[in-house]
Amino acid sequence: MEILHVSAECYPMAKAGGLGDVVGALPKYQCKAGHFAKVVMPMYRTKFLYNNQWVIDFKGHAYLGEQYFEFTIIKEKTNKLGFDLYLVDINGLLDRENIYGYSDDPQRFISFQIAVLTWLNSWEHRPDVVHVHDYHAGLIPFMVKNCHQFKKLAFVKTVLTIHNAQYQGNIGWDKHHYIPAYDQYKWGDLDWNNNINPLASAIKCAWQVTTVSKSYMDELRFKSNGLEALFEYEKGKCSGILNGIDNEVWNPETDHYLFNNYSIKGVTVGKKKNKKKICELYGLDETLPLIVFIGRLVGEKAADILPSVFKNVLYHQRGKACFLMLGSGDKQIETELFNITSNYPGLYNTYIGYDEALSHQLYAAADFLLMPSRVEPCGLNQMYALRYGTIPMVRSTGGLKDTVTDMGDWEGFGIRFNNATVDDIAHSIYRATDVYKNTTHITWMRKYMMNIDHSWESVVDAYTKVYL
């Protein structure tokens, strides 16, 4: 099949979170499985753009309401990502460094979608599937189905994958003229609670809808930022498919970021060497269990309660574990976490920011990864941790629930807790420090989890069945 993925993110061109990782990996493995997968995304001004070779594929023009705009679509020349990558350039709208966060984001992403469909309209053939990701591409199923100028595409299957339903792209009806002409009685396919809601529209209009884990799909029918009734109504075409990870990138035997590579057989020695180096760099006690947090410092990740957690644990369990934080986000959370550092030398440190190399090194060095997320549609960090023999400590929600079995259960290899509270997390840390003393059990858990297959190869067939 020929599959066109439409997304605001794709690693390594541009990434803000898990969406970028998924769109950067799934098409590659679809191509390896014999399909012809492509990705089209906005042409942000990133390092990847300037460091690679491109050819012009198409030049066109369209309208955003009454505003005429020209656009150019370029293609990465060498197929270095394992799939064809196309970028859409619109001067004044998409030619920016950041992915999101601009006051004119509605105009930016609607014009991007119109440009993509105008380009598709020029093809002599039609793709089998247009696979859209999150609300940034969520108006495409409606436009394919209803907009007069795209009627040639009306029978192309559209599939929506929801990576995070909290973000829906609501815009007022005063901007309805941005969308190309359609029969006005179809306005209900755009509307949700008296707004144009791109995510709700995609759920209504797409051929099939997927989320990135089965548990998250179940949760959306009860907690989806106002779309609960819609998910209940459309449940017949909705399914959850757990994300995979790229085992070529995330492989402790070959990962070029690591201080020392290691295999499953040599996991104990390998992790000890990586831990020693990290503890030297960040002034931590290597004889204690190392617990790390890697991620965005935002409420969804429960990062707002982490300062209280660490103050509590470091005060009451001083000398039982050490902690290292890697992340950025809310400035107040950043400050609170950073300020703890001076009070607990040798036991706590923090790196504010994002560092790809350091994230790999922490997965290899850490004994435990803490993920207390309030919302986690799938989660990739816990899968990376499993691959590197790092025990995940996770809240029982979404994809975390689907991928981590508590060590108290049969063949359990992780630590799970029910609530994003100081007490629940502190108790989990106590469990971690207690089990760490049992070196035989820790070694068994590490080897067991490293053998779990969360590769994209195991996921591609599930998407193929959805497309059919």
257-262: long-range contacts (C-beta < 8 A, 24 or more apart)? 257/356, 257/357, 257/360, 257/361, 258/360, 258/361, 258/364, 259/361, 259/364, 260/364, 262/364
Report yes or no: 417 and 427 within 8 Å, Cβ to Cβ: yes
Residue at 246 is within a domain = no
Residue at 84 is within a domain = yes
The single-letter code of the amino acid at 142 is F
Shared domain for 232 and 295, answered yes or no, is no
Residue at 456 is within a domain = no
Q: Where are the alpha helices (DSSP H) in 192-283?
A: 198-205, 214-220, 228-233, 267-282
Residue at 254 is within a domain = no
Shared domain for 181 and 298, answered yes or no, is no
Q: Three-state SS across 102-155?
A: CCCHHHHHHHHHHHHHHHHHCCCCCCCEEEEECHHHCCHHHHHHHEHHHHHHCC
pLDDT of residue 57: 98
**434 sits in which H/E element:** helix 422-436
Question: What are the Cα distances from residue 89, in Å, to 11, 27, 69, 134?
Answer: 18, 22, 11, 20
Round to whole Å and give the CA distance between 161 and 156. Answer: 16
Domain count, the chain: 2
Shared domain for 116 and 170, answered yes or no, is yes
Shared domain for 135 and 274, answered yes or no, is no
Q: Where are the alpha helices (DSSP H) in 11-94?
A: 18-32, 47-50
pLDDT of residue 248: 86
Report yes or no: 219 and 198 within 8 Å, Cβ to Cβ: no
Shared domain for 333 and 232, answered yes or no, is no
Residue at 69 is within a domain = yes
How far is CA 377 from its chain centroid? 9
Report yes or no: 467 and 157 within 8 Å, Cβ to Cβ: yes
Structural domain for 154, as ranges: 2-241
Residue at 383 is within a domain = yes
Helices 306-316 and 422-436, packing angle to 10 deg: 50
The single-letter code of the amino acid at 94 is L
Shared domain for 218 and 75, answered yes or no, is yes
Shared domain for 380 and 444, answered yes or no, is yes
pLDDT of residue 230: 97
Shared domain for 202 and 335, answered yes or no, is no
Round to whole Å and give the CA distance between 63 and 70. Answer: 9
CATH code of the domain containing 197: 3.40.50.2000
Structure tokens that stand for 74 in this block: 């370029």
Shared domain for 225 and 110, answered yes or no, is yes
Residue at 462 is within a domain = no
Shared domain for 276 and 188, answered yes or no, is no
pLDDT of residue 33: 95
pLDDT tens string, the chain, 468 residues long: the values are: 999 999 999 999 999 888 998 999 999 999 999 999 999 999 999 999 999 999 999 999 999 999 999 999 999 999 999 999 999 999 999 999 999 999 999 999 999 999 999 999 999 999 999 999 999 999 999 999 999 999 999 999 999 999 999 999 999 999 999 999 999 999 999 999 999 999 999 999 999 999 999 999 999 999 999 999 999 999 999 999 999 998 888 999 999 999 999 999 999 999 999 999 999 999 999 999 999 999 999 999 999 999 999 999 998 888 899 999 999 999 999 999 999 999 999 999 999 998 989 999 999 999 999 999 999 999 999 999 999 999 999 999 999 999 999 999 999 999 999 999 999 999 999 999 999 999 999 999 999 999 999 999 889 999 999 999
Residue found under tokens 């023009």: 61
Q: Please choose, from the candidates 381, 314, 379, the residue with its C-alpha nearest in 3D space to the C-alpha of residue 354.
A: 381
Shared domain for 299 and 438, answered yes or no, is yes
pLDDT of residue 319: 84
Shared domain for 276 and 227, answered yes or no, is no
Round to whole Å and give the CA distance between 350 and 336. Answer: 11
Round to whole Å and give the CA distance between 249 and 24. Answer: 11
- Collapsing DSSP states into helix, strand and coil, what is residue 368? strand
Residue at 261 is within a domain = no
